[in-house]
Amino acid sequence: MTHAQRQQLIEIDRRLSEEELGDRALVHAMVQLEWYRAQMSKTRRKYVLSESGALFLAGAATVLAALSAPAWITATVAAFVAFLAGLRRVVSWHDDWLAASEARAQAEAAISQYRLLPADERTLERQRELVAAIDKLVLDETRSWGRRRREKVQAELPG
């Protein structure tokens, strides 16, 4: 088990009561929710860093040229700008961030609805419904991710 997985389980444990920890359906849903929350945070951070880095370096290249900086410095900064522009075409952190945000919101809604049920109404059938809803969300999101990747590749192909 990795450090990140241990942290995830600790976070889930912190948010669940003793009674809820015995509810395997709720634990399953919370694990998926945590995964989407972590993905959302990670892709948002990557998106913001790549975009702000590109903006900063593009501005720096202009300033360096205006200051008559050595050509190799200006060219290196401009090359990093080109690299970041290319990286944005290969990866889609913004789309992934939005998709993870939507999936997280859907998972939270399903979990909230389930948690609003009194304990005696959290029957095996309701637990199965929660697991099915979460599993459908994961499958739909995975398919959506694959479709976004295929569309990105097809858009890049000539003709």
**Per-chain mean pLDDT for the chain:** 89
H helices present in the chain, as ranges: 3-15, 18-21, 24-66, 71-90, 93-115, 124-156
For the ranges 39-43, 61-65, 107-111, 146-150, which has the lowest average pLDDT?
Answer: 146-150
Nearest to 114 by CA among 132, 96, 127, 102: 127
Contact assessment for residue 78 and residue 61, using Cβ atoms and an 8 Å cutoff: yes
Between CA 136 and CA 10 the distance in angstroms is 25
Q: Which two tokens stand for residue 156?
A: 């890049």
pLDDT in tens, 37-63: 999 999 999 999 999 999 999 999 999
Q: Which two tokens stand for residue 44?
A: 């948002």
